[in-house]
Chain A
Amino acid sequence: MSSDYEISDEENGYYDEDEMEVDFDDESASEIEVDGIGDDFKVAVRRERKVYDVDFTSLSQPEIEKIMQTDVDHISGIFGVEPAVAAQLLRHMDWNKEKLIEKYMDNASSVAVAAGVELPPREPTPPPPKASSSRLSSTGPQRTTRRSTAEHSKSSPKSKRTTPPVEEPKEFVCPICFDDTQTEFMALICEHKFCASCWKEYITSKVRTEAECTITCMAEDCNIVALDPFVQKALGDDKETWERYQELLVRQFVSCIPHLKFCPYPSCTYTVSCPAAATKSSLVTIVPIVTCGASNTHVFCFGCPIDSDHRPVVCAVAKMWLQKCRDDSETANWIKSNTKECSKCQSTIEKNGGCNHMTCKKCKYEFCWVCMGPWSEHGTAWYSCNRYDEKASVDARDAQTRSRASLERYLHYYNRWANHEQSAKLSMELYVKTEKKMEEMQITSELTWIQVQFMKKALDVVFRCRMTLKWTYAMAYYLASGNDKELFEDNQRDLERAVEELSELIEAPIDPETIMTLRQKVTDKTVYVQKRNEIMLEDTAKGYLEGRWKWDVTVEGFESD
């Protein structure tokens, strides 16, 4: 049977399989392998594309910042505004350069006001600028104001009128902290003045607590935005918050561009570009699983919020399934809490109505549903435990009858889904144990490091294949019955059987005497399991492209018939 799945050089799986093929007795071959393994993770992204893989590139934060800077410079050049102003205009327009240029050319002032880089005109509304050139002239070099800390280049003569010429009292007290020892004050172009320490706290709070990168003036109803140089100045020596602010800017940019997605792993700052999955309609034919450049463990879906590999099932179906799991966990729990075991014969008894007087069908034991005590002790047939809410029970019972049949079907798939998830986790634990065992074996036996790697590789394959299997149950739950579903389930069964066999081999006790035989068996089985996994993924991926999969329910993006 395994001869069917003899692999050749071009049939690379998740991992470089060269090792599987080499003659293990050949020392020189082993040395070459060492290099091969070291590169495994790096080449994983670049390996030959399978039909179930999607093309993508990973970008670091500086690389994204460079792209942003190009846009900023472009806009700054066209509009003749400071880069910081251009950046805020772009953010305001969700980095849609074309739209920004169009709107700005149409009415620069209204765009600038809406973006918070210019003060709104005071009545009477001045006539709109005739041409953009009139605006360009107003953005001269940074004006130094009386208040030396007033930041910004865009104070036009108009803005002077907007703020009543307050006689600056000798002792200006910050209207936020009322701290008369403060001496340093800052204001945006609106000239709303606050102490530097309040600005710093405010910006820190916005950035750190609210993850907000558009920071408006602290004055009530003032929409003027603090531009990057102001933010940097206000934060002073707080490098950490400044960096966090910059990361937020990158995140905002990435979220605006359909073919970019920020890596969802905690504290990761990489971005993945995946143009193939940039549209909603593409998600009907592909499952865009990507990996960021920071770590090969940062596997996530480009098309949906799931931060793991959910192949072979498409995003919309995966989402439906997870939602169902959440919704039905309650029903499943209800079943648990509304069936009890007879305290005499342990057979399962379901509560069947309002009466608390229960009689076990099997052994005829009579007891009270509420306290589970023998009914005879309650003394009177009229007795009812006061903790028991009749109304709730009646409602629940009706709901249960309705959903029982569909629930049983669901549980069939759910239990298998959950089992693979659980087993995959256990295999990771086994991984740690095995690694230790392997280290010991290197000391006590003649085996080299490379010769004991087969276990790790096998465990890895088991883990990945269990993930595939897990999601095949979500897929099977929604697939419409018919030939295609049967073929799908055949593939599923073959993969499942192979995975279970390999799992058993791995879990067998390791003995230095028999290790070479075990090694051969495990290696062969690993190759076979990988092959089965590939068949599963390849066939489903092709099915999507061919429009072969029909669902039991309406799935977003799929034709319903």
Chain B
Amino acid sequence: MDARLRRVNKEIADCKNDKSSRVTIDLVDDNPFHLIGAFDGPEDTPYEGGRFQVDIVIPDNYPFQPVKMKFITKVYHPNVSSASGAICLDILKDAWSPVLTLKSTLISLQSLLCSPEPRDPQDAEVAKHYMTSKSSFEETARYWTMIYAGGPGKDGAGKPGKDGARDEIAMAGLDRAHVDQFESLGFERSKVVRGPLFIQRGDVGSLRGGQIDVLRRMNYRGANVANINDDRVVEELLK
């Protein structure tokens, strides 16, 4: 039997036998080299209560080359791309060892959720958020866990709206007051500067989306707000 197949089969079987870790590895279709792993969000973290799915691709010369993993479930974490799910973790690169297994790697991902490393970020914006205000970051991460990973929500705050709409401001980790502030300001200025352009461009909703984008990009949060001149925000908003 193909050595790689033997090894992967054994790993899947071993994982099935071990129920205590609550780590699962399942086949996507009939291909044993494309799998989906899943684990629980670690306790006492913003990811608690969520279940996180990971896309697993076994390379041709596994286990001599590292397994390829990325999050399927969206995660708000400095070392995980909020857009693609790509993961920055040493054992998935040069620190890989052939004795590591799919399960041990998934458990490493689980512990990565416990201990973010914002100085070596995969997602620079999220890392900035983490560095600026850890509590605000955790709130956002918890909100993402609730929205994407089936985690429990905090009472009242940030629950999906009546029609199931997501709270875009909470998703971006911004302060509602800040967005409101620039919404009125930006809207008025835009009237002066651009004339009918904005009206033509669409409703207030999309304008707000643009603002959230700008404020998120500029890391308009916590103590950092004092460092950002309002004019700069307006300038960005008018771009």
**A interacts with B:** yes
Residues from chain A with a CB closer than 8 A to the CB of B200 are: 390
Q: Is the CB of B99 within 8 A of A209?
A: no
B97 touches A218 (CB 8 A): yes
Cα distance A177–B97 in the bound complex, in angstroms: 13
Question: Does chain B have a CB within 8 A of A175?
Answer: yes
Tally of contact residues, B, Cβ under 8 A: 16
Contact with A along B80-110 (1 / 0, CB 8 A): 0000000000000000011110000000000
Interface 1/0 per residue, B24-64 and A, CB below 8 Å: 00000000000000000000000000000000000001011
Closest Cβ neighbor of A203 among chain B residues:
B64
B3 and chain A: residue at smallest CB distance: A177
Cα–Cα distance between A201 and B7 once the two chains are bound (Å): 14
Chain A CB within 8 A of B10 CB: yes
Residues of A within 8 A of B201 (CB): 390-391
Chain A interface size, under 10 / 10 to 19 / 20 to 34 / 35 or more: 20 to 34
Interface pair B64/A201, CB less than 8 Å apart: yes
Q: Which residues of B contact A265 (CB under 8 A)?
A: none
CB neighbours of A201 from chain B (8 A): 3, 61, 64
CA distance A390 to B63 in the complex (A): 50
Q: Determine how close the nearest CB of chain B comes to the CB of A67; give it in whole angstroms.
A: 30
Q: Please, which residue of chain B has its CB at the minimum distance from the CB of A208?
A: B61
Residues of chain A with a CB closer than 8 A to B136's CB: none
Q: Is B65 part of the contact surface with A, judged by Cβ < 8 Å?
A: yes
Which chain A residue shows the least CB distance to B63?
A176
Task: Say yes or no: is B6 at the interface (Cβ < 8 Å to chain A).
Answer: yes
A168 within 8 A of B: no
Cross-interface CB contact of A205 among B3, B7, B65, cutoff 8 Å? B65
Does A202 interact with chain B (Cβ within 8 Å)?
yes
The residue that B98 contacts in the complex, of A176, A179, A391, with Cβ under 8 A, is A176
Residue A504 at the B interface, CB < 8 A?
Answer: no
The CA-CA distance from A202 to B96 in the complex, in Å, is: 12
Chain B nearest CB, measured from A80 CB (Å): 32
Best-surrounded residue of A194, A218, A354, A390 (most CB of chain B within 10 A)? A218
Q: Which of B99, B201, B239 has the most CB of A within 10 A?
A: B99
Task: Pick from A176, A205, A391, A395: contact of B99, CB below 8 A.
Answer: A176
A209 touches B61 (CB 8 A): yes
Q: How far is the CA of A222 from the CA of B98 in the complex (A)?
A: 12
B97 is contacted by which of A205, A220, A354 (Cβ under 8 Å)?
Answer: A220
A222–B96 Cα distance when bound, in Å, is 11
The interface residues of chain B lying within 8 Å CB-to-CB of A178 are 6-7, 10
Q: Which of A205, A222, A390 is B64 in contact with, Cβ under 8 Å?
A: A205
Alpha-carbon separation in the docked complex, A201 to B60 (Å): 12
The smallest beta-carbon distance between A396 and chain B, in angstroms, is 13
- Pick the residue among B6, B64, B239 that contacts A202 (CB under 8 A): B64
Docked complex: B162-198 residues within 8 A CB-CB of A: 197
Query: Roughly how many angstroms separate A390 CA and B197 CA in the complex, as a whole number?
Result: 10
* Closest CB in chain A relative to B179 CB, distance in Å: 21
Given the known inter-chain contacts A205-B61, A205-B65, A390-B201, please indicate yes or no for A198 contacting B98, CB distance below 8 A.
Answer: yes
- A176→B7 contact, CB < 8 A: yes
Minimal beta-carbon separation of B11 from chain A (angstroms): 9
CB distance from B175 to the nearest CB of A (A): 27
CB distance from B92 to the nearest CB of A (A): 13
Nearest residue (CB) in A for B9 is A178
Alpha-carbon separation in the docked complex, A178 to B9 (Å): 10
A25 in contact (CB, < 8 A)? no
Asked whether B98 lies within 8 Å of A218 as measured between CB atoms, the reply is yes
B residues 203-231 touching A (CB-CB < 8 Å): none
Min CB distance A480 to B, Å, is: 35
- A35 at interface by CB-CB < 8 Å: no
B6 touches A175 (CB 8 A): no
CB distance from B21 to the nearest CB of A (A): 18
Check if A219 sits within 8 Å of B99, measured CB to CB.
yes
Which residue, of A205, A209, A354, has the highest number of chain B Cβ atoms within 10 A?
A205
Instruction: Please indicate the chain A residues that have their CB under 8 angstroms from the CB of B6 in the complex.
Output: 177-179
User: Considering residues B61, B63, B97, B239, which has the most beta carbons from chain A within 10 angstroms of its beta carbon?
Assistant: B97
A221 is an interface residue with CB less than 8 A from chain B = yes
A417-453 interface (Cβ within 8 A of B): none
Q: A205-B61, A205-B64, A209-B61 are in contact. Are A179 and B3 (CB under 8 A)?
A: yes
Structural contact, B97 and A219, CB atoms closer than 8 A: yes
Q: Are B99 and A175 in contact (CB under 8 A)?
A: yes
A209 to B98 alpha-carbon distance, docked (Å)? 15
Assess whether A220 is in contact with B65, with CB atoms less than 8 Å apart. no
User: Once bound together, how far apart are the Cα atoms of A543 and B65, in whole Å?
Assistant: 52
Contact status B99-A220, CB under 8 Å: yes
Residues of A within 8 A of B98 (CB): 176, 194, 198, 202, 218
Inter-chain CA distance A222–B100, complex, in Å, is 12
Which residues of the partner chain B approach A222 to less than 8 Å between Cβ atoms? 97
CB <8 Å contact, A220 and B3: no
Within 8 A of B (CB), among A186-239: 194, 197-198, 201-202, 205-206, 209, 218-222
Chain B nearest CB: distance from A192 CB in Å? 8
Whole-angstrom distance between the Cβ of A276 and the nearest chain B Cβ: 36
**Contact residues, A251-310 vs B (CB, 8 A):** none
CB-CB nearest in chain B for A201: B64
Bound Cα distance A221, B97 (Å): 8
Rounded to whole angstroms, the CA-CA distance of A252 and B100 in the bound complex is 29
- The CA-CA distance from A198 to B3 in the complex, in Å, is 9
The docked-state distance in angstroms from the alpha carbon of A201 to that of B10 is 19
**A354 partner residues in chain B, CB cutoff 8 A:** 197
**In the complex, what residues of A have CB within 8 A of residue B61's CB?**
201, 205, 209
Cα of A354 to Cα of B100 in the assembled complex, Å: 57
Nearest opposing residue in chain B for A212, CB measure:
B94
> Which residues of B have CB within 8 Å of A209?
61, 65
Interface 1/0 per residue, A335-346 and B, CB below 8 Å: 000000000000
Of A175, A220, A391, most B-chain CB atoms within 10 Å: A220
Q: B63 — which chain A residues lie within 8 A by C-beta? A: 176
A residues within 8 A CB of B3?
177, 179, 197, 201
Nearest B residue (CB) for A391: B201
Proximity bits, B60-85, A CB within 8 Å = 1, else 0: 01011100000000000000000000
Q: Given the complex, which residues of A lie within 8 Å of B7, measured CB to CB?
A: 176-178
Q: Could you say which residues of chain B place their CB within 8 Å of the CB of A177?
A: 3, 6-7
Which single residue of chain B is at the shortest CB-CB distance from A192? B99
The residue on B at minimum CB distance from A217 is B97
Residue of B nearest to A395 (CB): B239
Cα A167 to Cα B33 with chains together (Å): 35
| Assembled-state Cα–Cα distance A197/B98 (Å) | 13
| Cα of A415 to Cα of B10 in the assembled complex, Å | 61
B residues whose Cβ falls under 8 Å from a Cβ of A: 3, 6-7, 10, 61, 63-65, 97-100, 197, 200-201, 239
| Sample of 14 A–B contacts (CB below 8 Å) | A176-B63, A177-B7, A178-B6, A178-B10, A179-B3, A194-B98, A205-B61, A205-B64, A205-B65, A209-B61, A220-B99, A221-B97, A390-B201, A395-B239
Q: A178-B6, A198-B98, A391-B201 are in contact. List 10 more A-B contacts (CB 8 A).
A: A176-B63, A176-B98, A177-B7, A178-B10, A197-B3, A201-B3, A201-B64, A205-B64, A206-B64, A222-B97
Cβ-closest 7 pairs across A and B: A205-B64, A220-B97, A218-B98, A202-B64, A205-B61, A176-B98, A178-B10
